[in-house]
RNA sequence: GAGGUUGUAGCUCAGUUGGUUAGAGCGUCAGAUUGUGGCUCUGAAGGCCGGGGGUUCGACUCCCCUCAAUCUCCCCA
């Protein structure tokens, strides 16, 4: 075994994988652009202060912190020792660490908006495709470095944004050829449930628990609710709530009965109804799922989650509306709504369903055989002219037997080979062979430039 | 952060109740085959058996630690 290795939870991507991932990125990017979103990139690192306290207690622990430079300078040593003691007590300390790797794309975006809201045209629509880092324990489909693809609109309360984002999901996955179900719910309905249960302050406890319904079943959810301090009567209401079934329309009617006493609940139902009845949504596979909760606590309105049908896989995308993400950076009253695509999981789904197009694997189109010094000179000149015409070419790196050169083309999936040997050199011709069909023809060298590969 | 499983050739995996030079298939390289590849045949290279320590005359095998992958929980994408 070689001693060199990768840090835990990180990966190298070889050519094939990069091409497939780029295929995913390019489709997502083009759809974002199609809907009028502008690109944004932010630095890999942020001030630790920017990130701390935004992801909950668990999240804070998973932030990768960067050690300050120059801690070993003699004049600083004593201070460093004293301040390091505080780190050991679990307190962050700018003397030791003042920067951290970004944990998601949303908070850096909020930081950007807070810094630039004066010159941004509102509503501001941005998309961002960059890696993020989490000091999580790696598992299958779960890494310490992974990409997120986010699109957010800030500065608008209009539900038109939710409708557009829903259409973005549908458009992207249609292009991928992945069948999906877009599940929606509203945090307002969940809040109403909490109200009706007489435990408005228990909203987070309730959402965290019912979010697991799919995974662990109602009995376990009930246990968790009990542990989180809900009484029998409250749990009975939640049980009724979780048992709601039927078409979107039927579910909405039932939910209305249950939470009609709540003003915020009414609002939530209105919003969901508005979304579902929009002409562009009616043809899509959008399902109202009132058990959908999603972990992130900053959501306040409609929330989304994407499930691939036909494939066993967790959610491959999600998002929702938040009222005041920039508030913590001193700029209140900028509402927003955003969605995210889980690239790694989408990759796994597409791999399983074999949805990657075949033509993304070829890079080189033409291989020129190398059959000697003079011959390869002629080939090289011709090759450069083809390259000028934007056709990707290679020439075999040394004179070798046909066998070897063929195998090289085979392995690299190069579809065409061009042979210029002594015979062709003399006749100013070249032989073109399509390696896939086996067809072969000899033409004049000057005609190669207009040959349609 | 808690618990379980696994780690042998580039890849997938055998293996000996602890006993000399650790095997197979696939892949790689060379030849059969110096102007026509994929098939076939022949041969070769490639391993401190994840790393460190211990027990033993002797450890790939048993014990401890560690690292990594993977699964469940937690949390999430």
Residues A369 and A348 in one domain: no
Domain that residue A417 falls in = 362-450
Q: State whether the beta carbon of A332 lies below 7 angstroms from any atom of strand B.
A: no
Q: State whether the beta carbon of A358 lies below 7 angstroms from any atom of strand B.
A: no
Asked if the bond preceding A123 is cis, omega within 30° of 0, the reply is yes
A401-428 pLDDT, tens digit per residue, is 898 899 888 888 889 999 999 899 999 9
Q: State whether the beta carbon of A104 lies below 7 angstroms from any atom of strand B.
A: yes
Q: State whether the beta carbon of A410 lies below 7 angstroms from any atom of strand B.
A: yes
* Total count of domains within chain A: 2
CA gap A148, A340 in Å, rounded: 7
> How many CA atoms within 13 Å lie on the side-chain side of A31?
24
Average pLDDT, chain A: 89
For residue A7, being part of any structural domain is answered with: no
Nucleotide nearest residue A7, measured CA to C1' = B68
Sign of CA dihedral A214, A219, A224, A228: positive
Instruction: Label the pairing between strands A99-101 and A65-66.
Output: antiparallel
* Measured CA A378 to C1' B35 distance, in angstroms: 17
CA A127 to chain centre: 11
Q: State whether the beta carbon of A433 lies below 7 angstroms from any atom of strand B.
A: yes
Residues A347 and A375 in one domain: no
Closest CA to the C1' of B37: that residue is A406
How many residues does this entry show for chain A? Answer: 453
Position A2 confidence tier, pLDDT thresholds 50, 70, 90 = very low
Closest CA to the C1' of B74: that residue is A58
Q: In CATH, what number is assigned to the domain containing residue A445?
A: 3.40.50.800
The whole-number pLDDT of residue A77 equals 82
Instruction: Label the pairing between strands A124-133 and A393-395.
Output: unpaired
Position A339 confidence tier, pLDDT thresholds 50, 70, 90 = very high
Instruction: Label the pairing between strands A65-66 and A145-154.
Output: unpaired
Residues A239 and A280 in one domain: yes
User: Of residues A202 and A240, which shows the higher confidence score?
Assistant: A240
3-state helix, strand, coil in chain A (%, to 5): 45, 20, 35
């Amino acid at each position: 075994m070689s001693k060199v290795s990768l840090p835990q939870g990180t990966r190298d991507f070889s050519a094939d994988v990069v091409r497939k991932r780029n295929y995913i990125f390019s489709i997502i990017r083009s759809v974002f652009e199609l809907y009028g979103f502008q690109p944004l990139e932010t630095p890999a690192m942020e001030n630790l202060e920017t990130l701390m306290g935004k992801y909950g207690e668990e999240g804070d622990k998973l932030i990768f912190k960067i050690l300050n430079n120059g801690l070993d300078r003699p004049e600083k040593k004593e201070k460093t020792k004293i301040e390091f003691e505080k780190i050991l007590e679990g307190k962050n300390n700018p003397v030791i660490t003042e920067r951290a790797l970004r944990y998601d794309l949303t908070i850096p975006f909020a930081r950007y908006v807070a810094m630039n809201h004066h010159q941004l045209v509102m509503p501001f629509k941005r998309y961002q495709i960059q890696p993020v880092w989490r000091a999580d324990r790696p598992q299958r489909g779960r890494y310490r470095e992974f990409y997120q693809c986010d699109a957010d609109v800030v500065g608008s309360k209009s539900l038109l944004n939710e409708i557009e984002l829903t259409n973005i999901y549908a458009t992207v996955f249609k292009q991928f050829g992945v069948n999906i179900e877009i599940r929606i719910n509203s945090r307002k309905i969940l809040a109403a449930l909490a109200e009706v249960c007489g435990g408005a302050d228990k909203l987070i406890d309730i959402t965290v628990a019912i979010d697991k319904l799919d995974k662990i079943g109602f009995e376990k959810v009930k246990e968790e609710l009990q542990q989180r301090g809900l009484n029998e009567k409250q749990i009975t209401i939640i049980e009724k709530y979780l048992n709601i079934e039927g078409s979107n329309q039927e579910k909405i009617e039932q939910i209305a009965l249950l939470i009609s006493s709540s003003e915020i609940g009414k609002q939530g139902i209105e919003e969901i109804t508005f979304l579902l009845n929009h002409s562009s949504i009616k043809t899509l596979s959008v399902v109202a799922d009132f058990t959908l909760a999603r972990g992130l606590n900053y959501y306040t309105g409609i929330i989304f989650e994407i499930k691939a049908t036909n494939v066993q896989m967790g959610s491959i995308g999600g998002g929702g509306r938040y009222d005041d993400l920039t508030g913590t950076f001193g700029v209140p009253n900028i509402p927003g709504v955003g969605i995210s695509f889980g690239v790694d999981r989408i990759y796994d789904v597409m791999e399983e369903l074999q949805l990657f197009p075949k033509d993304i694997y070829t890079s080189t189109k033409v291989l020129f055989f190398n059959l000697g010094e003079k011959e390869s000179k002629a080939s090289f000149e011709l090759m450069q002219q083809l390259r000028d015409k934007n056709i990707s070419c290679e020439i075999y790196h040394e004179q070798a037997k046909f066998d070897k050169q063929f195998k090289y083309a085979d392995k690299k999936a190069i579809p065409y080979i061009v042979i210029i040997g002594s015979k062709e050199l003399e006749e100013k011709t070249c032989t073109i062979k399509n390696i896939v069909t086996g067809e072969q023809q000899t033409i004049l060298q000057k005609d190669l430039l207009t040959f349609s590969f």
